[in-house]
């Protein structure tokens, strides 16, 4: 169970987030929608523990994983090494994880030798290989063309199926939110607050 | 990037450089012949003959190895201390604010002043010599490593925090690869500066090494022997540059060209 209870978050004299409360039970995927610059990434960084300077409290499990806006891989290490070094997989587990995301036989490639879609797949493989209780996704399909985004969404849905992972997805695309989440919330206003989709409309 | 494709360019570049070097030696020979005064400017051939004699029957090898030992000791010391300070200053803002004025001071401290002060304070010893050289080099390593640390990708820091990557793995596989090109660059410029300062240190206060020999032959007004020792050491340092440092620097930044 993830409990996010933010009273406020400011950068200097800029009040970015107001009161934001959110509970995500295991196995549920919550999408947070909102326009660019509204504070979605700030909310997500607080939820993930990357930003600790805020007024409020977050309860999260030990094991978490994140899919960043960019794949955020080690460019000097092969695809397999990116899984082995960061998540601690064995050779066999790394091969299996690569196969799961359709990167069979690409283990020896450096990230720069992979296409953007393949790098995104590798980032997904890494997140799921960490066997997280809490998965945080920060616009994971941004900058992908429509077909590739659809393919990645299907893959993510497959990976999420059956796993009891609490997922927080931040996106500005309603279709992505609809395709992946059980619940969609809207972040709006200044300072931004969270309401469910109906109330925002 | 394909190296096979770059090969003809590389060959042409090497050829041009060799021709350029040949022209320098040719110019030197012509100037020496025109001057016709071997005591002022001996010919390259004469220097070659003297170098061979000193190498086979003289103490050239001994002095070269003594100087090289000092270069290595000062190099390791300067790289180690400079890297620690560079990382601290590049990663932690308060350290940078506190230590930046010191860095500026030491960057602007003339090598000669450091050498003289070290000899005065510590005495005419090996420790003083190596310390003086290292002190001259540490600020430059610090500046380069600090620049390297400032260019670290913050998203990789976030990623390693999220996935709870261990400190050792983080250092070996995230910090070191990002630092490697800067480390290699500071090693290259470092060794070039260090060996020149080592000669001054030996000139002023040691009883062996290439710098000492240059001092000795300077007092005897023996231009040929001064050139013999100086050029021999230049050859040694250029060999290290081309066979160790440049290939290492290329390897350190290889992933950037994948």
Q: Is the peptide bond before A191 cis (omega within 30 degrees of 0)?
A: yes
CB nearest to B173's CB, from A64, A85, A87: A85
| Rounded distance between C-alpha atoms, residue A101 and residue A120, angstroms | 10
**pLDDT over 50 at B100, yes or no:** yes
Query: What average pLDDT does this structure show over B89-113?
Result: 93
Same-domain pairing of A99 and A143: no
Residue in A with minimal Cα distance to B255:
A76
- Note whether A72 contacts B159, CB cutoff 8 Å: yes
Residue B11: inside a domain: no
Look at chain B and report how many structural domains it folds into: 1
Residue B23: inside a domain: no
- Note whether A85 contacts B258, CB cutoff 8 Å: no
Q: Residues A123, A67: contact at Cβ < 8 Å?
A: yes
Model confidence at B38, pLDDT cuts 50, 70, 90, reads confident
Chain B residues whose CB is inside 8 A of the A72 CB are 155-156, 158-159
Residue A123: inside a domain: yes
This model of the complex carries an ipTM of 0.89
What confidence score (pLDDT) does residue B256 get? 63
- Check if B167 contacts A (Cβ < 8 Å): no
**How many CB atoms neighbour CB A13 within 10 A?**
5
- Check if B171 contacts A (Cβ < 8 Å): no
- Note whether A72 contacts B158, CB cutoff 8 Å: yes
Same-domain pairing of A125 and A138: no
Beta bridge partner(s), residue B214: none
Residue B14: inside a domain: no
Same-domain pairing of A172 and A192: yes
Same-domain pairing of A139 and A161: yes
Cβ burial, residue A193 (10 Å; 0-12/13-18/19+): middle
Cα angle: A120, vertex A89, A130; to 5 degrees: 55
Our CA-based measurement puts residue B254 at a distance from the nearest CA of chain A, in whole angstroms, of: 8
| Rounded distance between C-alpha atoms, residue A126 and residue A97, angstroms | 8
Q: What is the tens place of the pLDDT at every residue in B6-25? A: 578 888 888 898 899 899 99
Query: What average pLDDT does this structure show over B155-172?
Result: 93
CATH code, domain with B226? 1.10.3720.10
**Helix residue spans in chain A (DSSP H):** 40-48, 79-87, 91-100, 116-129, 146-160, 174-180, 197-200
pLDDT in tens, chain A (201 residues): 889 999 989 998 889 999 999 999 999 999 999 888 888 889 999 999 999 999 999 999 989 999 998 899 999 999 999 999 999 999 999 999 999 888 998 999 999 999 988 999 999 999 999 999 999 999 888 777 888 888 888 889 888 887 889 999 998 888 888 888 999 999 888 888 888 754 444
Our CA-based measurement puts residue A200 at a distance from the nearest CA of chain B, in whole angstroms, of: 31
What confidence score (pLDDT) does residue B255 get? 63
- Note whether A74 contacts B155, CB cutoff 8 Å: no
Residue A69: inside a domain: no
- Check if B34 contacts A (Cβ < 8 Å): no
Residue A114: inside a domain: yes
CATH code, domain with A179? 3.40.50.300
- Note whether A130 contacts B163, CB cutoff 8 Å: yes
Same-domain pairing of A144 and A189: yes
Among residues A36, A38, A28, the alpha carbon closest in space to that of A194 is found at A38
Higher per-residue confidence, B244 vs B72: B72
Same-domain pairing of A144 and A196: yes
Residue B209: inside a domain: yes
Chain A residues whose CB is inside 8 A of the B258 CB are 75, 110, 112-113
Q: Are strands A134-138 and A166-171 parallel, antiparallel or unpaired?
A: parallel
- Note whether A136 contacts B162, CB cutoff 8 Å: yes
| Rounded distance between C-alpha atoms, residue A187 and residue A40, angstroms | 7
Task: Identify the domain boundary among A105, A130, A155.
Answer: A130
- Note whether B177 contacts A112, CB cutoff 8 Å: no
- Note whether B155 contacts A76, CB cutoff 8 Å: no
Mutate to test the interface with A, among B1, B159, B179 (most CBs of A within 10 A): B159
- Note whether B258 contacts A112, CB cutoff 8 Å: yes
Residue B9: inside a domain: no
Residue B161: inside a domain: yes
Chain B residues whose CB is inside 8 A of the A126 CB are 163
Same-domain pairing of A191 and A92: no
Which residues of A touch chain B, with CB atoms under 8 Å apart? 45, 48-50, 64-66, 68, 70, 72, 74-77, 85-87, 110, 112-113, 126, 130, 136
Our CA-based measurement puts residue B169 at a distance from the nearest CA of chain A, in whole angstroms, of: 7
The least confident of A26-40, A186-200, B176-190, B232-246 is A186-200
CB nearest to B162's CB, from A64, A76, A113: A64
User: For residue B157, what are the domain limits?
Assistant: 50-257
Same-domain pairing of A139 and A194: yes
What confidence score (pLDDT) does residue A201 get? 43
User: For residue A18, what are the domain limits?
Assistant: 2-63+132-200
Threshold 0.80, pTM exceeds: no
Residue A20: inside a domain: yes
Look at chain A and report how many structural domains it folds into: 2
Cβ burial, residue B232 (10 Å; 0-12/13-18/19+): buried
**pLDDT over 80 at B1, yes or no:** no
Helix (H) or strand (E) holding A188: strand A183-188
> What percent of chain B clears pLDDT 70, i.e. is strictly above it?
95
Residue B138: inside a domain: yes
Task: Identify the domain boundary among A130, A157, A172.
Answer: A130
CA-to-CA separations, A151 to A35, A154, A176, B193, in angstroms, rounded: 24, 5, 11, 56
Same-domain pairing of A24 and A55: yes
Model confidence at B160, pLDDT cuts 50, 70, 90, reads very high
Task: Identify the domain boundary among A130, A148, A172.
Answer: A130
């Amino acid at each position: 169970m993830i409990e996010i209870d933010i009273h406020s978050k400011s950068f200097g004299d800029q009040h970015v987030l107001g009161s934001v409360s959110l509970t995500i039970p295991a196995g549920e995927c919550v999408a947070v929608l909102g326009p660019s610059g509204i504070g979605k990434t700030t909310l997500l960084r607080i939820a993930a523990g990357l930003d600790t300077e805020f007024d409020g409290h977050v309860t999260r499990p030990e094991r978490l994983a994140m899919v960043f806006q960019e794949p955020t891989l080690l460019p000097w290490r092969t695809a397999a090494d990116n899984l082995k070094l960061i998540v601690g997989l064995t050779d066999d587990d790394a091969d299996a994880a690569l196969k799961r995301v359709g990167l069979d036989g690409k283990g020896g490639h450096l990230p720069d030798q992979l296409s953007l879609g393949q790098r995104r797949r590798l980032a997904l493989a890494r997140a799921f290989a960490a066997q997280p209780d809490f998965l945080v996704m920060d616009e994971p399909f941004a900058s992908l063309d429509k077909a590739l985004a659809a393919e990645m969404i299907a893959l993510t849905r497959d990976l999420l199926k059956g796993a009891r992972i609490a997922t927080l997805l931040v996106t500005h695309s309603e279709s992505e939110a609809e395709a992946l989440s059980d619940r969609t919330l809207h972040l709006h206003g200044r300072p931004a607050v969270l309401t469910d989709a109906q109330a925002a409309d | 990037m394909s190296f096979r494709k770059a090969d003809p360019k590389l060959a042409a570049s090497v050829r041009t450089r060799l021709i350029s070097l040949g022209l320098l030696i040719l110019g030197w020979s012509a100037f020496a012949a025109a001057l016709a005064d071997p005591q002022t400017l001996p010919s390259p051939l004469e220097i070659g003959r003297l170098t061979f004699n000193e190498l086979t029957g003289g103490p050239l090898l001994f002095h070269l190895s003594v100087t090289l030992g000092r270069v290595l000791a000062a190099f390791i010391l300067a790289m180690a201390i400079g890297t620690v300070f560079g990382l601290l200053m590049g990663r932690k803002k308060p350290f940078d604010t506190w230590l930046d004025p010191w860095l500026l001071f030491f960057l602007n401290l003339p090598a000669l002043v450091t050498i003289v002060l070290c000899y005065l304070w510590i005495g005419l010893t090996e420790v003083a010599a190596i310390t003086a050289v290292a002190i001259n080099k540490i600020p430059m390593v610090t500046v380069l490593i600090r620049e390297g640390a400032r260019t670290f990708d913050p998203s990789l820091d976030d990623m390693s925090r999220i996935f709870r990557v261990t400190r050792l793995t983080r250092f070996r596989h995230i910090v070191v690869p990002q630092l490697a090109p800067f480390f290699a660059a500071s090693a290259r410029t470092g060794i070039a500066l260090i060996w020149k300062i080592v000669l001054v240190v030996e000139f002023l206060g040691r009883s062996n090494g290439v710098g000492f020999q240059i001092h000795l032959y300077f007092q005897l007004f023996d231009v040929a022997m001064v050139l013999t020792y100086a050029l021999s050491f230049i050859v040694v340092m250029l060999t290290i540059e081309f066979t160790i440092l440049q290939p290492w620097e290329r390897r350190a930044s290889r992933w950037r060209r994948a």
